[in-house]
Structure 1
């Protein structure tokens, strides 16, 4: 856990905003107050004149202008102290992503599928020993993520039972996906380099139906383009544009279902 301990109003708000953007676990205290047992890093301003040298925590001093850099330094200290960074991914249309170091969740994300791989890459960029664990539940989307991480250690995890039941007040957008990603990060999987998945007829048809919705009902992409979308070779929007421009010749006429 990261602790923000400062009387600097601007730093307080900048650091809290940066920590929330990163999905990091944190709390706030008055400078010099006793730290909670779970504290592992403290962020304060230089003029706060507090010291936690006698505490087993990393102490980062920064300013409001450099708050994001200070947060990154604090998160980096957590990772160095706890060992290997493991990134869990719960695949889907908007994957949940959790960055775990030891027993600490240091960052969490809920992003569109197109942003999943760049997000994971950013989290492991400075971690040569990082491991990415991807849930196997969504065949096509998990395959797209696994295959795009060809230079990263990846495990495919049986994600059965990883999505928790959310109680009252906990049903925020993406929370279940993020918590599933945390569980996936903590489960051993099978080391893989690629995942070969051939789209089923049902999956092809689903994408064709989605293309018709995406085009406003004007057209439906053909089987070849739908297969390329399923495999992540083209986006649905690009496939619709290609079909509209002439495409692969397999599209259905406007008046057909």
Structure 2
């Protein structure tokens, strides 16, 4: 059983609500009470951790009660507390956080936010592992390159995307991330990808979609985006600033309306 024992109202409120949301069996006691016989782990605040030195103790941060509950549940289940983060890469990667065999958190965020989410979930975890699927080569390579101070494995993601029944639209990337997390991969610290012409064209098309004036970046900038040196927005700004943007826009507008480009 999980026991909550704290005089910190914020810790108490956050942890208790998190436990209730997960349907977890727990009890609360005052700091001067004896622990129940069935107590498996105590969640408390930093000021009172020493009071439970003889018990398995989790210190809760009032700003992050979920992390404390994750660790307490791992201790109760005997999972060893190992955090494995599975990532299905793409423009909006699916991210699944597992403690042992239990999924404790799931996210789907823009690629630009993914590294921050992964590093936050891995921070302070014992021996965390990040497993990234080998599909979506360019986005996956960027994640591998940008992640620091954490073990990263590249996983063959063949067959990890499940069939989605009625009403489950939008869940595929996250469920694939769960499956990726459960597969061992090859340890990598970098992944250099030479983009194909098709991948370069996709980047150009995305830049046109993001542009306020139907403007696509040139191939040189698209290759820098593919290498992770620039975001598409940064490439558009550079394209605009180097004086080629207005020319490209004018030419593309002429083509779009069917007229001949002006000489």
TM-score of the aligned structures, taking structure 1 as reference length = 0.75
Over aligned residues, Cα RMSD in angstroms? 3.4
CA drift at 1:223: 0.7
Q: Does 1:82 align with 2:65?
A: no
Match of 2:43 among 60, 80, 87: 60
Return closer, same or farther for 1:247/1:156 CA change in 2, 3 Å cut-off: farther
Q: Distance in 2 between matches of 1:105 and 1:45?
A: 28
Match of 2:146 among 123, 126, 148: 148
2:219 maps to which residue? Answer: 223
Name structure 2 gaps, 5 residues minimum: 5-9, 46-60, 256-263
2:181 maps to which residue? Answer: 185
SS at match of 1:92: coil
SS at match of 1:232: coil
CA drift at 1:206: 1.3
Name structure 1 gaps, 5 residues minimum: 5-9, 29-34, 36-41
TM-score of the aligned structures, taking structure 2 as reference length = 0.73
1:138-182 Cα shifts (integer Å, max 9, x gaps): 1000100011124321110011111111222333x4x21111111
Q: Distance in 2 between matches of 1:141 and 1:45?
A: 48
1:219–1:244: 8 Å Cα contact kept in structure 2?
Answer: no
Return closer, same or farther for 1:86/1:247 CA change in 2, 3 Å cut-off: farther
Return closer, same or farther for 1:59/1:151 CA change in 2, 3 Å cut-off: closer
Q: Distance in 2 between matches of 1:214 and 1:237?
A: 8
Q: Distance in 2 between matches of 1:182 and 1:226?
A: 31
1:229–1:239: 8 Å Cα contact kept in structure 2?
Answer: yes
Q: Which has a greater percent of helix? A: 2
Q: Distance in 2 between matches of 1:228 and 1:181?
A: 27
2:90–2:136: 8 Å Cα contact kept in structure 1?
Answer: yes
1:132–1:152: 8 Å Cα contact kept in structure 2?
Answer: yes
